[in-house]
């Protein structure tokens, strides 16, 4: 049997052994194979003596969870935390190697003592998460693995990148330092040959990536967290501003419940509004966030931010009135 098929058969065994029932269509979708291939894999399991059976009620296959895999030493809270993160949390983040994460969770389930497994299964049925918007990326696994390898080997990479700022595709030689997930998408941070300084590149805008033949000497003093500094999100502008906003009662509670920035301070007013203050590097990113609250927020300071928000609000009005 070929090694890729051996791996797949083992993965099917691990999946069926969770005690849940999976139809052939489920397995075909999970492993990106045809129904015919899955049927052949099931026959292979039967040939090696794995006691799976077909459940006519839910029209799926399963294996006795007690079949040969020993329990591992996880308590109830540890098991619940891991399974909640893998089964539910993956909807809220675009994970590379998502299938591998799912298989890891299934292996954990397989090895739990029967009582803990039953409790986790029952509890997870009553928990759900709503998936957040994600930047689509068909080749995330491949791109992530290539960049991860280049970072470890300190290897230069050549990017063909669609730059929204430039409005065109650009060619960049990059010394990759760090991978970061932020605002629904993955980015790589590194020293750009084109910009002669550290820059972030969104993975789903990389048109092509080729490993270079040269290695780079990393700047040991470079810290990605220092680089992002007090930027509102991803782009520091080199100047710290004291931001002071007044949120009206309708949204004040929702705004104050979230830690938007490490410098955040909130002061409540008698009328139910809230004064929220930040010390932020740059005005562009936070101005777009403020506009999202429409007529429920007032910019108290600085004047430059108030002017920027007013200009953009007028632009929105003009654009929509002319439609």
Query: Per residue in 49-79, pLDDT tens?
Result: 777 888 777 788 887 766 654 555 667 777 7
Residue from 81, 94, 102 nearest 27 by CA: 102
Quick one: pLDDT at residue 303? Answer: 96
Give the DSSP letter string of 73-112. Answer: ---HHHHHHHHIIIIIGGGGS--TTHHHHHHHHHHHHHHS
The correct CATH number of 140-228 out of 3.40.228.10, 3.30.70.1230, 3.40.640.10, 2.30.30.100 is 2.30.30.100
**What would the mean pLDDT of 75-88 be, rounded to a whole number?**
73
127-176 per-position pLDDT tens digit: 777 766 666 667 788 888 899 999 999 999 999 999 987 889 999 999 99
Q: Average the pLDDT over each of 34-43, 249-258, 283-292, 308-317 and give the range with the smallest value.
A: 34-43
pLDDT tier, 109 (very low <50, low <70, confident <90, very high otherwise): confident
Domain 3-63 part of CATH 1.10.630.10: no
pLDDT tier, 201 (very low <50, low <70, confident <90, very high otherwise): very high
Spatial separation of the C-alpha atoms in residues 297 and 275, rounded to whole Å: 10
Q: 221: Cβ–Cβ under 8 A, 6 or more apart, which residues?
A: none
The secondary element (H helix, E strand) that includes residue 144 is helix 140-153
Domain 240-321 part of CATH 2.60.120: no
Query: Residue 157: how many CB atoms within 10 A of its CB?
Result: 22
Whether residue 309 has pLDDT greater than 60 = yes
Predicted TM-score (pTM) of the model is 0.65
């Amino acid at each position: 049997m070929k090694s890729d098929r051996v791996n797949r058969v083992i993965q099917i065994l691990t999946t069926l052994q969770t005690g849940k029932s999976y139809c052939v269509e489920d397995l075909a979708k999970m492993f990106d194979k045809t129904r015919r291939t899955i049927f052949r894999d099931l026959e292979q399991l039967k040939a090696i003596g794995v006691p799976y059976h077909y459940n006519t009620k839910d029209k799926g296959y399963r294996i006795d969870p007690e079949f040969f895999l020993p329990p591992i030493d996880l308590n109830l809270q540890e098991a619940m935390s891991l399974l909640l993160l893998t089964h539910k949390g993956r909807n809220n983040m675009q994970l590379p190697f998502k299938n591998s994460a799912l298989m890891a969770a299934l292996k954990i389930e397989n090895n739990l003592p029967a009582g803990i497994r039953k409790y986790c299964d029952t509890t997870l049925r009553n928990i759900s998460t709503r998936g957040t918007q994600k930047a689509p990326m068909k080749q995330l696994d491949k791109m992530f693995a290539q960049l991860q390898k280049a970072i470890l080997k300190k290897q230069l990479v050549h990017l063909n990148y669609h730059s929204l700022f430039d409005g065109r595709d650009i060619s960049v030689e990059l010394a990759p330092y760090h991978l970061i997930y932020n605002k629904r998408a993955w980015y790589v941070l590194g020293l750009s040959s084109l910009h002669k300084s550290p820059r972030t590149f969104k993975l789903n805008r990389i048109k092509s990536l080729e490993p270079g033949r040269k290695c780079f000497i990393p700047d040991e003093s470079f810290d990605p967290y220092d680089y992002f500094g007090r930027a509102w999100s991803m782009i520091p502008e080199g100047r710290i501003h004291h931001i002071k906003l007044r949120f009206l009662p309708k949204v004040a509670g929702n705004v104050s419940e979230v830690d938007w920035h490490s410098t955040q301070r909130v002061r409540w007013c008698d009328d139910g509004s809230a004064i929220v203050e930040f010390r932020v590097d740059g005005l562009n990113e936070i101005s777009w966030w403020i506009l999202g609250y429409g007529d429920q927020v007032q910019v108290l300071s600085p004047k430059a931010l108030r002017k920027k928000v007013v200009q953009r609000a007028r632009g929105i009005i003009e654009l929509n009135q002319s439609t």
